[in-house]
Structure 1
Amino acid sequence: MLVKEELSRYNRQMILPELGLEGQKKLKAASVLLIGAGGLGCPVLQYLAAAGVGTIGIVDDDVVELSNLHRQILYNHTDIGQAKAKIAAAKLQLLNPHVGFTAYQERFRADNAVNICQDYDLVIDCSDNFTTRYLVNDTCVALGKTLIFGSILQFEGQVAVFNHQGSANYRDLYPAPPTENINCVEGGVIGILPGLIGLYMANEALKLICGIGETLAGKLMSVNALNNAVLVFKIAAKKSADIPKPALAKTGKAIAEIDKATLDRWLETYADKVFLIDVREDYEHEDGNIGGINLPLYELTASLTAIPKNKKVVCYCQTGQRSKMAVQLLDGVYVGEVYSLREGVFG
């Protein structure tokens, strides 16, 4: 229910016929998780808070540095050395006291990804590295969450909506991380670019929450701030079936892991008692694997009958990130020993 002050605060957007009172109520009822409170995260957070999104989670383990201030406009000189997640939540609370904020002052990792994400309606990836991007994507695929993605480098930015009503996910666009990882630290970035791309991301979030307009689901928009080129590409989804949302319980238990040497020893000693599951995509399994069956993350909980209960189950992937998540997904819904292969098949 909107109070009198909220009706006045949001008046200018509520008079839009596409949004109206019902749209504003949807915004107030919505919960959004944002990964990364840096250059992209700052404008996204400010505009979602100003628009009245009811609950916002902020994940970031970094602190404000002087080199951030030319583009991360939520912070100022007096914030240097302070935790971004906490200082952002405090500043945004002043911007809009009708919004609830939760600050997660920690890195988004395979062992906390599910617990952090599972209670939010929408996830927005404002991270700046490929490890986190793939982990955010895989978590959203496993949980059936819509993901808004953005990236920036030098003068060019990208925006997309992934995993929305069967649309493509990040791995459909980029199946594997690039061999060369150039980020803003090495390549540089013009200060206005994260603001420009962040506003597009915030706009996609508002449209998705309110159910209005045309979104970037199944599309990638590329914006070049140097020559003003704006291009939109279609992304084909490799999986056409709906992704089931597994029932998950919050858990603080440590994820059971083994290294490659331990697995090799098990296979050599009692191979008939070990059951391998490759939780990567089918095309990754076909490119090379160490045996077992192939059950991508989003098929895992729907395929429990394919997993024997009288063997040691070892989940593996490329880097060990998705396999950790697989162990967490199976916790509480599968009875038996389940392990993640630490650092993946190439560890």
Structure 2
Amino acid sequence: MFSKEELERYSRHLIIPDFNIEGQKKLKNARVLVVGCGGLGAPLLSYLVAAGVGTIGIVDDDVVDHTNLQRQVLFTEEDLGKSKVEVAANRLSIQNPFVDIIKYNVKLTSENALDIIKSYDVVADGTDNFPTRYLVNDACVLLNKVNVYASIYRFEGQLSVFNFTDQEKNLGPNYRDLFPTPPPPDAVPSCAEGGVLGVLPGIMGSLQANEVIKVITGIGAPLSAKLFILDTLSFETTTLKFKRNPKNPLNGEHPSQKGLIDYYKFCGLNRSQDFSTKDISVSDLYQWMQKEVDFQLIDVRKPYEYEIANIGGQLIPLDQIEKYINQIDKGKKVVIHCRTGKRSAQAIKLLHEKYGFKNLLNLKGGILAWADTIDLSMAKY
């Protein structure tokens, strides 16, 4: 089953008494789907490939940009603008030619998730948003697949194994048992908005790979019914236990959900942001500035972000926007911007719905788009 080269490659596995060649066979026969090949996905994929998992699928529709390079160690400057899936697959194939890499350069959705996941044994969730986390969880429960989950934020990481059946045929809890409902929209910023220590995804992605290997080979005790939390600042760890919830809509006592749903709606999000027709491009904004058009420019980022780079807007952080509502002009066009366009869209929605503003424009792509298109010397962070 193994070539001479493979036996040499995996020799340090083969000499472990509780692992040996039987464990390596299980890895070679296994099929693992990794959703997201960013911060968590990079170390996760690298170690699964190095370990000899026979077939690995990668799902991601993103491209490489400068802000990824601080933590997404599969990518380099030469990869900027390229498909993450394509770059990752090429690099991983060089790392271990005995592994079959399957590429899904698509966004995982309710329409394609079941078809993609059904042919895999284990799913590893390396995503950074709640709609996709609930989607991955629900698809795994419906298809009876193990879901190895990790998440990161600033200095803290979380890890768990969902929907795992132990040797006594006891089914463990899933993501909905731990988090029955998503947090309010915008309550938890993404890494793009809140930041993350570059080394943290390396730690958590490696731990995630460890749990995948344990699930496949049957060694040790997977982190089922437990949530592991790591604080890298204090280097304190916490492990919380949790149980299956009888009210779980997927597999509780009275299941009410038979298929996948609209997860953006479930998480209280609107795909179109409701303001897609009220955007302004960075090129048009630049023209307004050159022609001295009378408008107000508001920056809703944090003060430290403003210090790094700004385009001269009035700084009113998103969490203080209502406090300074009287400083926002209702008599002329107001352009609101942030780093990417997400927080500014939130500000516009709040001002529109709660205070009746109808003169607001969202800077499409935020200050990152400005740095890419107008001022190439501007710092990107």
Runs of 4+ in 1 over 2 A off after TM superposition: 279-283, 294-297, 315-322
Q: Partner residue of 1:170?
A: 175
Q: Deviations over 1:19-70 (max 9, x none)?
A: 1001000000000000000000000000000000000000000000111001
In 1, Cα distance between equivalents of 2:93 and 2:211: 22
User: In the superposition, relative to structure 1, how do residues 177 and 17 fare at CA in structure 2: closer, same or farther (>3 Å)?
Assistant: same
Question: What fraction of aligned residue pairs are identical, expressed as a percent?
Answer: 47
- Judged with a 3 Å threshold, the aligned counterparts in structure 2 of structure 1 residues 221 and 27 are, in CA distance, closer, same or farther, namely same
- What letter corresponds to residue 212 of structure 1 in structure 2? I
Task: Tell me how far 1:238 sits from its aligned partner.
Answer: 1.4
Structure 1 residue runs without a partner (length 5+): 242-278, 286-293, 301-314, 323-347
- Give the equivalent residue in structure 1 for 2:234: 227
Q: CA RMSD in A?
A: 2.3
Q: What amino acid sits opposite 1:295 in the alignment?
A: S
> Could you state the TM-score of these two structures normalised by the residue count of structure 1?
0.71
The aligned counterpart of 1:238 is 245
- The residue number in structure 1 matching 2:31 is 31
The equivalent of 1:22 in structure 2 is 22
Please give the residue correspondences for 1:108-257 in structure 2 after superposition, counting only pairs within 5 Å. 108-165=108-165, 166-179=171-184, 180-239=187-246
Question: In 2, distance between residues paired with 1:70 and 1:317?
Answer: 33
> 8 Å contact 1:135–1:321 — kept in the other structure?
no
Corresponding letter in the other structure for 1:168: P
What does the per-residue CA deviation read over 1:300-333, in whole Å, with 9 as the maximum and x for residues that have no partner? 7xxxxxxxxxxxxxx97776679xxxxxxxxxxx
- Are 1:101 and 2:101 counterparts? yes
The Cα of 1:181 is off from its aligned counterpart by 3.1
The 2-side partners of 1:61 and 1:74 are apart by: 16
Contact 1:224–1:230 (Cα < 8 Å) also in 2: yes
Q: What aligned pairs does 1:300-315 form with structure 2 within 5 A after superposition?
A: none
**Corresponding residue of 2:2:** 2
Structure 2 stretches of 5 or more lacking a match?
166-170, 268-381
Scaled by the length of structure 2, the TM-score of the pair is 0.65
**Structure with more relative contact order (C-alpha pairs < 8 Å, separation 6 or more):** 1
Residue by residue over 1:136-159, the C-alpha shift from the partner in whole angstroms, topping out at 9 and shown as x without a partner, is 000001000000000000000000
Taking a change above 3 Å as real, the CA distance of residues 280 and 147 of structure 1, as seen in their structure-2 partners, is closer
Q: Partners in 1 of 2:111 and 2:266 — Cα distance?
A: 9
Q: In structure 1, what is the Cα distance between the partners aligned to 2:263 and 2:212? A: 31
Contact 1:36-1:59 within 8 A present in 2 as well: yes
SS in 2 for 1:151: strand
Q: 2:178 is matched by which residue type in structure 1? A: L
Q: How many Å apart are 1:176 and its aligned residue?
A: 1.2
Measured after TM superposition, the shift of residue 239 of structure 1 is 4.4
Letter in 1 for 2:101: F
**Which digits, 9 at most, give the CA deviation of each residue in 1:267-323, with x for residues without a partner?**
xxxxxxxxxxxx76779x9xxxxxxxx6333xx7xxxxxxxxxxxxxx97776679x
Larger radius of gyration: 2
Q: Secondary structure at the match of 1:227?
A: coil
Superposition deviation, residue 237 in structure 1: 0.7
Deviation at 1:14, TM superposition (A): 1.4
Q: Deviations over 1:53-93 (max 9, x none)?
A: 00000000000011100100011110110101111011000
